[in-house]
């Protein structure tokens, strides 16, 4: 069996190929700057809405990577309440959701604060408010006391993917990690975010929740790199989209002796794609803003406003008369009248594809 990275001497003296890493880092940094420039051009309420949507996405996707599905409206409402934002349709959120939200918000809103053992334990306790992970009782708000293996397969035929450092080593390793994390040095904070994520995952200090906390630490350092608590891109969403590759890279690098170029390159590429997605989202937000500005005096009924907003926010599938009627809770005749009215006003058009059923789309012209 190949040695694990932590079994090598001085394993945390990580090394990487600057020639491979620097061009990617330059692209990421350039895009970060460009997006923050675009964000400043947004109005206050739009900026608030963009941030709320992004934080919601980040919390949901980080949990989804671990196979836990959270309710979108509960997460959104919990974030809004904790940030003192008001919006229509707020719902009650349960302890589980509030705990995940508290951890993520503490990481991003208090990015400049020291990340010490106590704060880390508070995050862990917030993730598991009942002291259980599913049916199992776990050690909460403290480092694990047991061995930690990542396995897959049926009972008796388990395949061990990773064996974490023994419990007696965890405190020692975490002290070194937290000391490095909190020290100000010359290292670029985006690179530091990549290393911190990997380093924490290798130690695997808790009974459960290690992946989510690793991503929260990454977000904290990315917020430091932006020098802003306003989050407009989601690394967790990108990790979820590339989950197979994420696990494959981690598995490969866990046997290296500290050379982590491949991990940093993957992390930067993933972050770049997350930023690109945000850039497209902001363009959509600006497009939506321009539309409503242009049509502020156009006479539209509440059904038309509802569907138009849905079209701007990423409508699922094709817009048909029957779907309009269902969403707007009206008859198909009323739906058709609404649609024809919008076609006359130059807002909607019939899709060119044709086919058996008629579909409609926004008129970009």
C-beta separation of 228 from 35 below 8 A: no
> Three-state SS for 136?
strand
Whether residue 241 is contained in a domain is answered as yes
Whether residue 321 is contained in a domain is answered as yes
Same domain, residue pair 240 and 157: yes
**Residue-wise pLDDT tens digits, 304-359:** 999 999 898 777 889 999 999 999 999 999 999 999 999 999 999 998 876 667 99
Same domain, residue pair 197 and 334: no
The pLDDT of residue 42 is: 83
Whether residue 293 is contained in a domain is answered as no
Same domain, residue pair 259 and 210: yes
Segments forming the whole domain that contains residue 215? 5-286
Whether residue 315 is contained in a domain is answered as yes
Closest CA to 364 of 255, 351, 356: 351
- Look at the chain and report how many structural domains it folds into: 2
**Residue-wise pLDDT tens digits, 34-56:** 998 888 888 888 888 889 989 99
Whether residue 79 is contained in a domain is answered as yes
Same domain, residue pair 314 and 191: no
Whether residue 253 is contained in a domain is answered as yes
Same domain, residue pair 263 and 325: no
Q: Tell me which residues of the chain have a pLDDT lower than 50.
A: none
Same domain, residue pair 182 and 305: no
Closest CA to 258 of 174, 186, 183, 195: 195
The pLDDT of residue 346 is: 96
Beta-ladder partners of 361: 349
CB neighbours (10 Å) of residue 151? 10
Whether residue 295 is contained in a domain is answered as no
Same domain, residue pair 195 and 309: no
> Three-state SS for 13?
coil
Same domain, residue pair 269 and 318: no
Same domain, residue pair 103 and 195: yes
Same domain, residue pair 45 and 106: yes
Domain boundary among 223, 257, 286: 286
Same domain, residue pair 346 and 323: yes
Same domain, residue pair 252 and 335: no
Which string of b and e fits 261-284 if b means at least 16 CB within 10 Å?
Answer: bebbbbbbbbbbbbbebbeebbee
C-beta separation of 103 from 216 below 8 A: yes
Q: Kindly report the CATH number assigned to the domain that includes residue 305.
A: 1.10.10.10
The pLDDT of residue 1 is: 67
The pLDDT of residue 159 is: 84
């Amino acid at each position: 069996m190949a040695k694990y990275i932590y079994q090598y001497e001085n394993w945390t003296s990580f090394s990487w190929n600057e020639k491979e890493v620097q061009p990617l880092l330059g692209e990421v940094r350039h895009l970060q700057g460009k997006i923050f420039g675009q964000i400043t051009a947004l109005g206050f309420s739009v900026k608030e809405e963009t941030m709320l949507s992004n934080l919601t996405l980040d919390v949901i996707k980080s949990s989804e990577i671990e196979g836990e599905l959270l309710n979108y409206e509960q997460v959104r409402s919990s974030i809004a309440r904790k940030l003192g934002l008001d919006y229509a349709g707020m719902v009650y959120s349960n302890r589980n959701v509030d705990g995940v939200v508290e951890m993520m918000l503490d990481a991003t809103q208090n990015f400049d604060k020291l990340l010490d053992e106590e704060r880390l334990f508070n995050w862990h306790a917030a993730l598991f408010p009942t002291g259980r992970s599913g049916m199992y009782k776990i050690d909460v708000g403290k480092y694990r006391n047991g061995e930690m293996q990542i396995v897959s397969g049926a009972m008796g035929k388990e395949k061990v993917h990773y064996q974490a450092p023994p419990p007696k080593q965890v405190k020692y390793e975490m002290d070194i990690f937290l000391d490095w994390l909190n020290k100000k040095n010359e290292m670029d904070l985006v690179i530091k975010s990549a290393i911190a994520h990997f380093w924490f995952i290798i130690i695997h200090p808790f009974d459960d929740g290690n992946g989510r906390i690793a991503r929260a630490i990454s977000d904290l350092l990315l917020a430091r790199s932006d020098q802003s608590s306003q989050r407009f891109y989601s690394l967790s969403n990108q990790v979820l989209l590339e989950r197979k590759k994420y696990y494959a890279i981690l598995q490969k690098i866990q046997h290296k002796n500290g050379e982590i170029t491949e991990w940093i390159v993957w992390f930067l590429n993933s972050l770049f794609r997350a930023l690109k997605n945000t850039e497209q989202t902001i363009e959509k937000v600006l497009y939506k803003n321009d539309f409503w500005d242009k049509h502020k005096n156009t006479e539209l009924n509440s059904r038309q406003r509802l569907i138009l907003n849905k079209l701007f926010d990423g409508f699922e599938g094709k817009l048909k008369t029957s779907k309009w009627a269902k969403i707007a809770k009206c008859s198909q005749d009323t739906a058709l009248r609404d649609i024809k009215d919008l076609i006359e006003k130059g807002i909607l058009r019939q899709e060119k594809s044709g086919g058996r059923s008629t579909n409609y789309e926004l008129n970009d012209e």
